[in-house]
Amino acid sequence: MTNNHDTRDAVVDAAIELAESSSWEAVRLFDVAVKMKISLNDMRFHFREKEELVDAWFDRADSAMLKLSENADFLALPHQERLNDLIMVWLDALSVHRNVTRQMIGAKLEPGHVHIQIPAIMRVSRTVQWVREAAQRDATCVRRALEETALTTIYLATFVCWMNDASNDSQNTREFLRHKLQLAETLDRAVYGSQQESAGSSPSHVETEVIKPNR
């Protein structure tokens, strides 16, 4: 069994399928190995522990989000819409297994699981940084720090809302996210003035002034 992306995806799919029929808590690596018809040593070659399956599941959402940013029309959107679309695509990538995703998060929050909670915090930070990169946010220094803090708060609050959202097409989550992003933009403008220029704007979208020599 080779170590490749397709095999890793198949292992994650198998684990989630088992979780759907029981629960994420009940899934064990030996169960996944049996379902995949591989040995535990083969399993270890791809995933050293169960938590790495969770990371791989969320990696799929990161990947879907970054693929959106490759769309030629994406950078023509205002910054707020970019952030909105990126976060919703991230969540939509997980929506087919929302209940299992909720169970994964619940397992991380159990008392005594500090060894997986600290990496989870780093995971959140990493995803937020990818959101900023995909949206081409280019704030620096204090403004960057404030923006990261605000975006992390919005991302986490939206994730919590989404996990418990039973509305059609997660409409409640979409409205929640738009409201929070609008509030953040309003506060940003109040502190710093006009919105940042789009980092992805092409010369055709940016007005330039031609300075003519005095005659």
Domain 50-192 adopts which CATH fold?
A: Tetracycline Repressor; domain 2 (1.10.357)
Give pLDDT < 70 ranges for the chain. 1-4, 194-215
List, in order, residues 6 or more apart from 6 with CB less than 8 Å away: none
Q: Report pLDDT for 1.
A: 44
Multiple choice CATH, 1-48, 1.20.1440, 1.10.10, 1.10.150, 1.25.40: 1.10.10
Name the residue ranges covered by the structural domains of the chain: 1-48, 50-192
Q: What is the pTM of this model?
A: 0.84
Closest to 151 (Cα-Cα) out of 184, 119, 118, 122: 184
Distance CA 110, CA 144 (A): 32
